[in-house]
Structure 1
């Protein structure tokens, strides 16, 4: 089986349940508090692995209780952690997540050890990138490390997937190395200054990425589904209608599910990505009906039990 390599963040999530979001200068009481394994990179890795993908992970944690706990959890999910190291300088990353009664969330991330990943560390891991079918990264680790990893990947013919979250200015050099970019509608607006609310605006936003060298643009649209755009094709794949109670990790589960469907495809084209998005929409519809990041991520058997085998 081909493998997926994920360069990304590893966090301990502190999840607070509230009736409504707090306003500036206001104090409210939380209804519940939990410590849950998270981080965009780790979430995407666990999502892909539970859906049948073979996953290797490049990342960093601190030499603290949170870091050791998370590594043990990743091992239990059968994710290769041999390329995760312990930082001597920073604690394990952390995210403070507030979830209200409508299932909406707000997230503040403390990067910690995630930001200690260096270009040199990537160079020492070139073998695992080169042997992979696909490389996925986000923006919760240093930008220079992602650029270096994508450079190695393109030299070896590895498919590159960029999840530009949290949104920040993307160097043209990184977009040139990116095969598939997957922002949500908010990130697409921040990165292109185009509000994606109809076919015309979605195509306009996507064209700004493709002009820089990206081959496929997937913009996730929440309850509307996901838009897929290439140079000459466009489609919106609708979401499954469910009652959301917590949207944490919905986007990460989508990316992990997409990758799990594409990892063994010889030549990835528009139709194959379209099919993978349909599956990813199924997975994210399950995730938003559950609480927490990694605890909400389903196994392939659960997806098939709910939606049937494809």
Structure 2
């Protein structure tokens, strides 16, 4: 059971990374040492933290971002993009030096690989995180964080948010070993199958193995685990049992920010008081829409797009206990 929703705390706080995303598109990915011709290139605002806070804002939540951006030529692109989406950037700090960079390669099957260079993201501090959560916890009820920022800072955000009685949602990406005592502070952990495999040490390939991985997280103190399986849907494991969510079927173009669209809409729905099942349905719709558009932040859908998609296709997502 997640932390109870409170009517006067409907905001979402995202403590996380921000990058300039340089993405190349090609029919296939090159072999080691090979040069190939590509089909297209984009340069856009990205980073798991930024994508998730943008998605939460697009979902209609009051979304606040805690992050660090550089002082280079990418600074204005990032600040302008966040502001245009209505994100509260009070706690986004500009630091001397380069902004974080993500180099993304996408092939014709919509699969990608990513090299993320933290740069300014490494300047996030305990003092910045604490000040932000002290300021925002009176109006926000949900924290979203990931692991593209220094892991000790993500852990600090989790501990501080728990002390402020916020619902804590962890997207453990990229997956790394975490302190044993952190799991009991997490309301919902949302790994994909690869991340769940790394964290639990057991291979996750299907619904049955996803349920087993979910129970690994609960055994260590997490209140709930949602294992996402891309085209195979998702499995929620909590104290009440297991629920399976079938995927919405779409034709993928680029999967880059699908997980972030999912996370942002999930956090926004939880903050407004939705049930976990309803929040997952909205998040799944947002993730499905995101894979149909190229790029990271440009692929994040609006609330109206998600509403329309659900109205047309809600019967496709079967939820089973």
TM-score normalised by length of structure 2: 0.91
Q: 1: CA distance between counterparts of 2:291 and 2:207?
A: 25
Is residue 64 of structure 1 aligned with residue 72 of structure 2?
Answer: yes
Tell me the equivalent position of 1:308. Answer: 311
- Aligned mate of 1:140, from 144, 148, 163: 148
Counterpart check, 1:211 vs 2:219: yes
Structure 2 gap segments, 5+ residues each: 1-7, 315-321
Output the CA distance in 2 between the equivalents of 1:307 and 1:154.
32
| Within-5 A mapping of 1:38-57 | 38-57=46-65
Aligned to 1:292: 295
User: 5+ residue gaps in structure 1?
Assistant: none
Moved more, 255-264 or 199-208: 199-208
Query: Which of 257, 262, 285 is the equivalent residue of 1:254?
Result: 262
Aligned counterpart, 2:133: 126
- Are the equivalent residues in 2 in contact too, given 1:129–1:149 (CA < 8 A)? no
Paired residues of 2:184 and 2:223 also in contact (CA < 8 A):
no
1:235 pairs with 2:238: no
| Distance in structure 1 (CA, Å) of the matches to 2:269 and 2:130 | 28
Following TM superposition, where does structure 1 have runs of at least 4 consecutive aligned residues deviating by more than 4 angstroms?
Answer: none
Distance 1:193 1:292 in 2: 32
The residue number in structure 1 matching 2:114 is 107
Pairs aligned (count): 304
Partner of 2:318: none
Root mean square deviation of aligned Cα? 1.5
Deviation larger for 27-36 or 182-191:
27-36
Q: With structure 1 as the length reference, what TM-score do the two structures score?
A: 0.94
The alpha-carbon deviation at position 22 of structure 1 amounts to: 1.4
More deviation in 13-22 or 28-37? Answer: 28-37
Q: 1:161–1:179: 8 Å Cα contact kept in structure 2?
A: yes
Structure-2 residue corresponding to 1:22: 30
Q: Counterpart of 1:58 in 2: which secondary structure?
A: strand
On the 8 A contact 2:262/2:286 being kept in 1, the answer is yes
| Contact 2:24–2:38 (Cα < 8 Å) also in 1 | yes
Q: Secondary structure at the match of 2:89?
A: coil
